[in-house]
Amino acid sequence: MKIGITYDLRSEYLKMGYSEEETAEFDKEDTIEAIDRALQNAGYRTDRIGHSRNLMKRLLIGDKWDLIFNICEGFFGDGRESLVPALLDSFRIPYVFSGPATLAVTLNKYMTKRLVRDAGVPTPDFVLIQSEEDLSNHKLAFPLFAKPVSEGTGKGIDHHSVIYSEQQFREVCRQLLNKFNQPVLVEEFLPGREFTIGVIGNGRKAQVIGAVEVIFNDKESKIYSYENKENWVDRIKYRKVSVSTMKACESIALKVWEVTGALDAGRIDLKEDKHGKLQFIEINPLAGINPHHSDLPILAGLYDLNYQELIERIMKAAINRIFGNEGGHST
């Protein structure tokens, strides 16, 4: 089976003049090397395609693959993560991970929260600030938490994100509106413990492979910010959860997985409110997959699933979903 790999390489965009923060969601060379090596070790033939424009060129000259391992984040617009899956759908080429509808909805944190809330999943109260005119309309109780509505990897999140006053609320929202040129999601701040949960599989076969608590260094801001994620080795530790916490995390995570239509593998973030009750924060159906720095491989490793096994489990889930069998990787 020939597997194409689609991805956005961070170094390419840095050379174009984009900043470290602007390219935060893109992958480094060692991520692509690790994925390629794991796929080859599993018996697949691989072809590194790269970003969406490379894919377009190759599709138009008639190149074909049996399956695409897609981790393209895209760069422009609120449908950027959906571009590659939509292109592949139009050429009837199957791919690993979620489709365009799921990726479009889950990139928008406001839409996602409305979707899961309507399904009965607990999530903190929230409002969407689309312009300065909306700053007078919220009725949420302080403290609050503000972030861009359609960003990942902690972009737009720092110690200013926790808001304690009306003045601070207006200042932070204005700054985010201007900097990211998109609406701001504001929700009631959750002061409790934070967890990230890994899921592999589809439909009734979806399984939680592990849940970890995110533990912050006492010297650092207790916010899962872009800065803390980029420098997690010295700032953050990940700890396996108790059996009872795992069961609570699993119940919510699998419900969110089902409601959003996520496929094959991904991550769900939860946090406790002031009463210790778990609340949904975000889902990442296109989770980072660097073997050393990404949350999904890290938590998998804590639960005795090494990187090679993780990639093979993801491929097995995708192949079974697409082709209706557990094999399909003959060379």
Q: Which residues pair with 188 in a beta bridge?
A: 144
Among 75, 59, 61, smallest CA distance to 7 is for 75
Residue 98, SS3 per DSSP: coil
Which residues, including other chains, have CB under 8 Å from residue 192's CB and lie 6 or more apart?
271, 272, 273, 274, 276
76 Cβ partners below 8 Å, 6+ apart?
none
Alpha carbon distance 190, 279 (integer Å): 8
CA 317 – CA 67 distance, rounded (Å): 13
pTM listed for this prediction: 0.91
Relative to beta strand 236-240, strand 207-216 is: antiparallel
Backbone angles phi, psi at 97, to 5 degrees: 85, 180
**Please, is 197 exposed, middle or buried when counting C-beta atoms within 10 Å of its C-beta (0-12, 13-18, 19+)?**
buried
Answer for the pair 9, 32: CB distance below 8 angstroms, yes or no. yes
Q: What is the DSSP string of 192-208?
A: S-EEEEEEE-SGGG-EE
Rg of the chain over Cα atoms, rounded to whole angstroms, equals: 20
Mean pLDDT by 10 residues, the chain (331 residues): 96 85 85 98 98 96 98 90 98 98 97 98 97 90 95 83 95 95 96 97 96 81 60 79 97 98 98 97 96 95 98 98 63 31
Q: Which domains does the chain have, with CATH numbers?
A: 2-97 (3.40.50.20), 125-188 (3.30.1490.20), 194-323 (3.30.470.20)
The DSSP secondary-structure symbol of 132 reads: G
3-state helix, strand, coil in the chain (%, to 5): 40, 20, 35
Beta bridge partners of 184: 129, 148
Instruction: For residue 204, report the phi and psi dihedrals to the nearest 5 degrees.
Output: -70, -15
User: What is the number of other CB atoms lying within 10 angstroms of the CB of residue 182?
Assistant: 16
Main-chain phi, psi angles of 152, to 5 degrees: -135, -175
